[in-house]
Amino acid sequence: MRRRVLAAVAAVLLCAAAADGEHPLLRPIHDVDVTYALGVGGSDPSGPGAGTSLHERLRWRAAAQALRIDPPTAGLYVIIDLAARRMSTVRTAEKAVIEMAAPDNVTGMPDSAAAAAVQRGTDMVAGLICTEWDMTDAAGEAARLCLTDDGVLLRARTGGRTLLTAETVQYGVLDADLFQVPTGYTQRWMGPQPSASQPAAPQAARPQAASPLPASPQ
């Protein structure tokens, strides 16, 4: 469950997408700071999982194609640099960073997900209007995502469960330092380093949706 929650949050921010009105835009085109309620029921007071105290914060810096994820785990956050294909897990208590190449399966939606998405109406979440889209993830499971016209994920549902619901959404230019590994931290690489010849992630907006960010390291 935890993997799917993190995945659903990150997926929309990490995939290319086509914005043409008939297909969802799955990557925000502006800097945005979103706090989500995680778990069944999300922030819906009538939902079966209402009252959950788990929250996750995602910040996306569009110009740098960089994502920062602050999960419920205290003292831990993840930075993903799409252009460099690099993922950094920062542990503040230990002043340590685990570096690795961003895995190919960092998102859980196939490239065709947005093109095959089916529109299911609109809703309002966190004071913003979003369009609901039915898609199929890489595992073949149905997912319903509520996305704004500029590519911000406001709600994700699958298997009859609400994985996440946006509680606050703030637009505005984000400080580049938020997406940098702190100086003076011990850095350790896991696995092969990103290849210089490996193509950078696409800059243009195209589609995809729910999938995992690597589960939070324990």
> Average per-residue pLDDT in the chain?
77
Q: Where are the domains of the chain?
A: 2-189
Residue 205: per-residue pLDDT: 33
Q: Which of the four pLDDT bands, split at 50, 70 and 90, describes residue 112?
A: low
Cα–Cα dist 87/189, whole Å = 10
pLDDT tens figures, 120-169: 999 999 999 999 999 877 677 888 999 999 989 999 998 889 989 999 99
Q: Residue 192 has what pLDDT?
A: 78
In CATH, the number for domain 2-189 is 2.50.20.10
* Percentage of the chain exceeding pLDDT 70: 67
User: pTM for this one?
Assistant: 0.75
pLDDT at position 207 is: 32
Q: Is the pLDDT of residue 44 over 60?
A: no
> What is the C-alpha separation between 25 and 17, in angstroms, rounded?
5
- pLDDT over 60 at 49, yes or no: no
Give residue 104's pLDDT: 61
